[in-house]
Amino acid sequence: MQFCDDCGSMMHADGDEMVCKSCGARDAKDEDVAAEYVSTEAQSGDELIETEEGADFEGKPTATDVTCDECGHGEAWYTIKQTASADEPPTRFFKCQECGYRWREYN
């Protein structure tokens, strides 16, 4: 992704150049942009969010301030992950201790 030096808008490719949709400025494509990306093979498991069916929530902290939408039970295991930028609140992922229903809560 490349941004316009004049106005800061995101630029789009037009042949060998990048063009700003906002102000029309043109610039050469950045060739080293791909070096900034990290492949998923290089990432550790710490970034993974436990949402799949077989995820182990048992033994995680217990929330008593929630109500399961499926069975009405008032206790669920939960885990917290930062899924958005750092200035946004984290997301809590729940698993009902009674029926196993899973849901998330955005603060």
**Domains of the chain, first to last:** 1-37 (no CATH), 44-106 (2.20.25.10)
pLDDT digits (tens, 9 = 90+) for 77-103: 888 888 778 888 888 888 899 998 988
Decide: 87 and 69 in contact? Cβ < 8 Å. Answer: no
Give residue for tokens 């037009």: 14
Decide: 36 and 1 in contact? Cβ < 8 Å. Answer: no
| Entry pTM | 0.47
The band of 71, judged by pLDDT with boundaries at 50, 70 and 90, is very high
